[in-house]
Amino acid sequence: MPQILTRKDYDFYECSSAFQKCVRRGLERESLYFGIELFSSGYSKYLWKRMLCVASEDIGLANPQIGQQINALYNNYKTILELGDTHGSEVVVIHAIMLLVRSPKSRICDHAKVYAMVTDDNFDIPDFALDNHTRKGKILGRSFDYFIKEGAKLENKVEMTDPYEDKFNSYLMDLQNKTIKEDGFYGYDKRNVHHKSIRHMAEWKAKNNQQTMF
């Protein structure tokens, strides 16, 4: 590959590698040095892309909010540029680098990526996925009752008060028993129609004023 140099004549690829390896090891000063070397050599877009990748590759589940934080800082950086004052944008880059360096870390997401992309596993469709939303599930006669008991089952469920669960279950049972029609999720009131625009709503109202709505 052709050699690309930074402002201080570091090989670009070596500088980039040094940046990420130092972030992984929590070497803050070195990470700042190599990060700003990339930034000030005109590779700011590349640096932000690398930092967004680092947030998942080297941190991931160890700090689930880090991706959002780095992306928010990237948006702040772009806003500063759009406002026409590039001076001061460096501190946002510094902020992002320091967050990455000081964050707890895990490589699990990158390892999982390799597994998912190259695995030779071949899983069968699990039986619990064959509910009334699938062709096979309908052939098996599986109803909304099966969906509630098996299809909607959660692992790692957070226990919290859910004032809507009973309504959800009773709605599905009413659909199953044909107490209400499954025609656009109107539910119990035919006025529960989603309108794309005020004009669309006006046309719908004019049409339905001429007929019984219930």
Residue type, 170: S
Q: Which residue has the higher pLDDT, 32 or 179?
A: 32
Structural domain contains residue 158: yes
- How would residue 121 be classed by pLDDT, with cut points 50, 70 and 90? very high
Whether residue 194 is found in the same domain as residue 149: no
Q: Is the pLDDT of residue 181 over 70?
A: yes
d(CA 69, CA 92): 11
Whether residue 102 is found in the same domain as residue 195: no
Rg of the Cα atoms in the chain: 27
The label of the residue with tokens 């009413």 reads: 174
Structural domain contains residue 28: yes
pLDDT of residue 189: 84
- Average pLDDT over the chain, rounded to an integer: 92
DSSP codes, 91-146: HHHHHHHHHHHHS----HHHHHHHHHHH----PPPPGGG-STTSHHHHHTT--HHH
d(CA 158, CA 97): 33
- As given in the structure block, the two tokens for residue 158 are 């957070």
Q: Give 67-81 pLDDT, tens digit per residue.
A: 999 999 999 999 999
- As given in the structure block, the two tokens for residue 212 are 């019984």
- How would residue 185 be classed by pLDDT, with cut points 50, 70 and 90? low
Whether residue 30 is found in the same domain as residue 100: yes
Whether residue 107 is found in the same domain as residue 167: no
pLDDT of residue 1: 72
Q: Is the pLDDT of residue 14 over 70?
A: yes
Q: Is the pLDDT of residue 182 over 90?
A: no
Question: Mean per-residue pLDDT for 113-129?
Answer: 97
Q: Give 36-48 pLDDT, tens digit per residue.
A: 999 999 999 999 9
Structural domain contains residue 2: no
Number of domains making up the chain? 3
pLDDT of residue 15: 98
- How would residue 57 be classed by pLDDT, with cut points 50, 70 and 90? very high
Whether residue 20 is found in the same domain as residue 70: yes
Report the 10 Å Cβ neighbour count for 114.
9
Residue type, 2: P
| Residue 121 · residue 136 · CB < 8 Å | no
- How would residue 183 be classed by pLDDT, with cut points 50, 70 and 90? low
Structural domain contains residue 107: yes
d(CA 23, CA 49): 14
d(CA 140, CA 76): 54
CATH assignment of the domain containing 92: 1.20.272.10
Among the candidates 90, 113, 136, a domain finishes at 113
